[in-house]
Structures are given as structure tokens and as C-alpha cells.
């Protein structure tokens, strides 16, 4: 179910040739990975009690996974702080100017709160989408390098949010870790993308990516439809945060880092591989004693084939 790797068209000033070399090498590794795990569904699962506290110590036999109401045989079970490939998708449109310092602080807090083996990258976007290299590297876990990548672009122009999410999902495929996540930080709806929301949602449903969002919208902001971000996050097993005035963005980023660390990973091979044209509904249940009522959060399902493939060629531009 993993997406086949996309060709990367963005030409970023000064290092496009180097990035092309990075991608060429990563393509081979990604293709090998796809061959091995094309039929393996991986589910990040967070289990909490009635107070919202993570419940550790559960065993494989405590979980039941259903796909389209048919129980599946679990072949992968992991728990704990599994390293993650994380894409930080950060809005650099004009309206974000006064907020970028808080965003940089939030990203730094996230990096310091994450697993030292995590690998991260930055997607800066306004009218254009830019994948930033960090000292010539496509990924880094150095907070300082991530901060420098976030300040490489000035806040100006409009908001190509959907294009940026699509580029982030594509770039994740070049990471070396099985667990993948995107964190979107933006203050408004999309008004500059080539892609439509339905295309990006279809792309996300094909990926094995958790998507989180920090939507910096206020009472007077003209957000197009915050329900779209909520749906994108919910469908993939993540959370959309809408911080209130005075609420710390850095604190939310630390909460996301903790959420990523406190998860179970379940995996199975779907029984029905013939049907590739529809969204597959997934449900995870937990049956165990001594914990009371439990809440389970995971992705709502996935698609093996694109429902509405994101095929638009994205432009790139100067900072």
C-alpha cells in the first residue's frame, strides 16, 4: 500500500543538482523497500484511559484489527519510542510573519523532545513549495539546522498548503525509517495550490503517514474550512490542534512528540488483495482486563490505488 516514489521536480536555487543526487540514491532504497512491504499495512495505534493517559504494557493478543469488518492476522507488533521520519511543513505566507519566531521555537522544542534517531526535514511554503536542504543533507535531527532551514525563506505571498502537503508526503518516501509523520503549521486555508484537497487526501490515504496539524487561526481569520485539516489528520491517525490565544505552540509541539513516542505499531497483510479500487475501512479494538474503558486512535483506513491521484506538476520559485 505504500506509494510508489514520485519524481521530484522542484528546482531549488544552489543545490538542485545535489538534491537530485540524493534522490537518485534514495530512489533505489525506496524501491527495494516497496518491493518487500507493498502488501504490509502498518497501523500506528494510541491507546488511552478515560483521563487521556497512554496505556502501556498491552500485548499482541489484546488487539483485534478488522479491515472492512473482516478480522486480520497480525504479523507485526511493536511498542515504545520507535524512531520516525518527520516532515515539518511550515507556512511562510505573508500573514505568518509575526508568528514565525514562535513557530521556530516550537520546532526546536519538538526536535529536543524527539527520539535522537528521528530524521526530519523542512518544507517551507508560500506561493511556492521548497524542500530545504540542511548543510547539504536531505534529513537532519539537529535543532539548529532545522531552525536555519525555517529562516531560509521570508514570510510573503499566499498559501499553497495542499501542494506543500503533497511534496511532504513525497519526500517522506526517501526516509530510512518505516514510521513516518507530517506536522503542518499554518494560519489559514489554501489559496495558491495547483492541487485540490481531494487529491492530497487520496495521496495521504495511500501513504503510511501520520499527519498532525497546528492551525494558527484566530476569531477574525478567514480560514477556508478547518474541517478539512481535521479530516486529513483523523483519516491518518493524527490530531489537528487549534490553539487558543495565549496557548503555547511549543507546548503543543512537545505534545505531538510525546504522542509519536507513546504508540503501538500493528501490522498485517490484507486478506483481499484483488480489490484495489476502493478505500478500505480499518478498525482496531482492544480487549483487556484491569484498565477500565479504553480509547483507541489509529488511521481510519487506506487505499491501495489512488482514488484521485495527485498528478499536477508543482512549480518552484525564488525565495
Cα separation, 303 vs 49, whole angstroms: 30
Rounded to 5°, the CA angle 37-41-47 comes to 135
pLDDT at 312: 38
Residues contacting 185, CB < 8 A, separation 6+: 88, 89, 90, 91, 103, 106, 107, 213, 214, 216, 249
SS3 37: helix
137 has a pLDDT exceeding 70: yes
pLDDT tens string 192-227: 999 999 999 999 999 989 999 999 876 555 545 677
Sequence-ordered alpha helix ranges (H) in 72-159 = 100-113, 143-150
Residues contacting 36, CB < 8 A, separation 6+: none
75 has a pLDDT exceeding 90: yes
Residue that is written with C-alpha cell 526535514 in the block = 121
Q: Where in the chain is the domain with CATH 3.40.50.410?
A: 81-261
301 phi and psi, to 5 degrees? 165, -165
CA dihedral 14, 17, 20, 21 (to 10 degrees): -120
pLDDT at 1: 39
pLDDT tens string 89-132: 999 999 899 999 989 989 999 999 889 899 999 999 999 999 99
64 phi and psi, to 5 degrees? -130, 130
Q: How confident is the model at residue 3 (pLDDT cuts 50, 70, 90)?
A: very low
pLDDT tens string 11-43: 333 333 334 444 444 443 333 333 334 588 999
Which has the minimum average pLDDT: 66-80, 108-122, 155-169, 266-280? Answer: 266-280
Residues contacting 102, CB < 8 A, separation 6+: 249, 250
pLDDT at 249: 92
pLDDT tens string 235-278: 899 999 999 888 889 999 999 999 999 999 999 999 877 776 67
Q: How confident is the model at residue 233 (pLDDT cuts 50, 70, 90)?
A: very high
- In CATH, what number does 81-261 get? 3.40.50.410
Which has the minimum average pLDDT: 4-18, 175-189, 275-289? Answer: 4-18
Mean pLDDT of 147-173: 94
Amino acid at each position: 500500500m505504500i506509494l510508489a516514489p514520485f519524481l521530484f521536480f522542484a528546482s531549488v536555487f544552489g543545490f538542485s543538482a545535489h538534491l537530485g543526487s540524493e534522490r537518485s540514491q534514495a530512489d533505489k532504497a525506496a524501491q527495494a523497500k516497496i518491493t518487500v512491504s507493498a502488501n504490509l499495512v502498518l497501523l500506528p495505534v494510541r491507546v488511552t484511559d478515560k483521563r487521556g493517559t497512554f496505556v502501556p504494557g498491552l500485548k499482541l493478543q489484546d488487539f483485534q484489527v478488522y479491515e472492512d469488518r473482516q478480522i486480520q492476522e497480525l504479523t507485526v507488533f511493536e511498542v515504545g519510542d520507535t524512531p520516525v521520519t518527520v516532515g515539518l511543513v511550515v507556512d511562510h505566507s505573508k500573514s505568518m510573519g509575526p508568528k514565525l519566531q514562535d513557530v521556530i521555537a516550537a520546532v526546536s522544542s519538538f526536535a529536543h523532545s524527539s527520539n535522537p534517531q528521528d530524521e526530519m526535514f523542512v518544507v517551507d511554503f508560500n506561493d511556492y513549495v521548497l524542500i530545504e536542504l540542511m548543510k547539504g543533507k536531505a534529513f537532519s535531527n539537529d535543532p539548529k539546522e532545522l531552525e536555519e532551514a525555517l529562516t531560509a525563506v521570508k514570510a510573503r505571498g499566499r498559501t499553497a498548503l495542499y501542494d506543500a502537503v503533497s511534496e511532504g508526503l513525497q519526500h517522506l518516501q526517501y526516509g530510512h525509517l518505516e514510521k513516518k509523520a507530517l506536522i503542518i503549521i499554518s494560519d489559514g486555508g489554501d489559496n495558491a495550490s495547483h492541487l485540490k484537497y481531494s487529491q492530497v487526501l487520496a495521496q495521504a490515504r495511500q501513504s503510511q503517514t501520520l499527519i498532525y496539524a497546528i492551525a494558527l487561526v484566530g476569531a477574525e481569520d478567514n480560514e477556508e474550512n478547518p474541517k478539512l485539516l481535521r479530516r486529513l489528520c483523523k483519516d491518518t491517525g493524527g490530531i489537528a490542534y487549534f490553539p487558543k490565544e495565549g496557548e503555547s505552540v511549543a507546548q503543543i509541539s512537545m505534545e505531538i512528540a510525546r504522542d509519536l513516542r507513546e504508540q503501538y505499531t500493528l501490522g498485517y497483510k490484507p486478506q483481499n488483495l484483488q480489490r484495489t479500487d476502493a478505500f478500505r475501512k480499518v478498525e482496531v479494538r482492544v480487549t483487556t482486563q484491569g484498565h477500565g474503558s479504553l480509547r483507541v486512535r489509529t488511521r481510519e483506513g487506506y487505499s491501495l490505488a489512488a482514488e484521485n491521484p495527485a498528478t499536477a506538476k508543482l512549480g518552484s520559485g525564488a525565495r
